[in-house]
Structure 1
């Protein structure tokens, strides 16, 4: 157990360090590497990770509150039952990561790569996914109410029984979605109809 507070790190390689159960408070990490690192159950609050490499890192059970992970790579990282509360994740890549049991409470996940992510039954209400790549993602029975999904790439995403009422879905191509049982509001119904060539007066 350790605690780092108000520290700044630039280009540091943490890959070989055991960071399990640690606590990070108001720290900044710029272009640091955590590849294949042990960060199980680590907590961060008000931290900034900029262009950091978390490929293959073990982050299961970690908790992050009001932290920023900007343009970071989480390829093949283990995020099992991790929690991100009101975090800024813009531009980060989660391809191949294990997101089973993850908790995402609000926050900004714009421009993220979430292709083929498994987010079944997740409560994603109010999360910002502007221009995020959710193609092939499994969002069955997910709560996406009041999300910002504007311009999101959702080709072949599975949205059966998901709830998207109140979500901003401008620019989404509805023709590529699997939407059986999806709960929509009137505005989304119009967008859906228009994307299928209907003329709405």
Structure 2
């Protein structure tokens, strides 16, 4: 998985609010810090080769949001609607995305590290080489989505819903959950630890292991 390609030595400090004033709604090679953006609506905003630190987005609606080669650090993106989002080589570090919608999104080479994605929606999305590391994914919704070469490492997946999403060739063995919503055929070829396998045996076969 490739890291975001950012010319950090030449980034220009910039306010996110200027994106609404730009004709093409583009912010490129800029550094944004410590702003709060609330209930803003934007059509097809683009962010490229930039960093966002300590930014707060609440209840924003960004249609066809595109982000490339960008790092979000200590950011809050809560209850936002990013339906149809496109993320390519993007990294989220210690970010909160609780209740945010990324339905119908396309994510490739994206990393979430130490993030809270509780109640986040990835329904009917395409996730390719997406890594979730030490993150909270409780009650996450990922229904009828396509996952390819994704990583789930030391995450809390309790009550996450992967209904009708194939987990084949994926590894959830280092993650934790008491309840996981999955479709029986969709867990074939997925790697689980012994405790998780016992839960699935009870769920689908009514078998209780001694």
Query: 2:90 matched to 1:82?
Result: yes
Query: 2:69 matched to 1:97?
Result: no
Note the residue ranges of structure 2 that are not aligned, 5 or more in a row.
1-10
Instruction: Identify the structure with the greater helix proportion.
Output: 2
| Stretch deviating more after TM superposition (64-73 or 26-35) | 26-35
Residue 193 of structure 1: how far off its partner (Å)? 0.8
Residue 174 of structure 1: how far off its partner (Å)? 4.0
Residue 32 of structure 1: how far off its partner (Å)? 1.9
Instruction: Identify the structure with the greater strand proportion.
Output: 2
Note the residue ranges of structure 1 that are not aligned, 5 or more in a row.
none
Per-residue CA deviation, residues 92-131 of structure 1 (Å, 9 max, x unaligned), is 1111222122222230111111013223443323221110
* Distance in 2 (alpha carbons) for counterparts of 1:176 and 1:14: 49
The answer for the alignment partner of 1:3 in structure 2 is 13
1:135-150 alignment to 2 at 5 Å?
A: 135-150=143-158
The answer for the alignment partner of 1:199 in structure 2 is 208
1:37-56 alignment to 2 at 5 Å?
A: 37-56=45-64
Aligned 8 A contact 1:14 1:34 in 2 = no
Aligned 8 A contact 1:175 1:195 in 2 = no
Q: What's the TM-score, normalizing by structure 2?
A: 0.82
Q: 2:66 aligns with which of 58, 65, 68?
A: 58
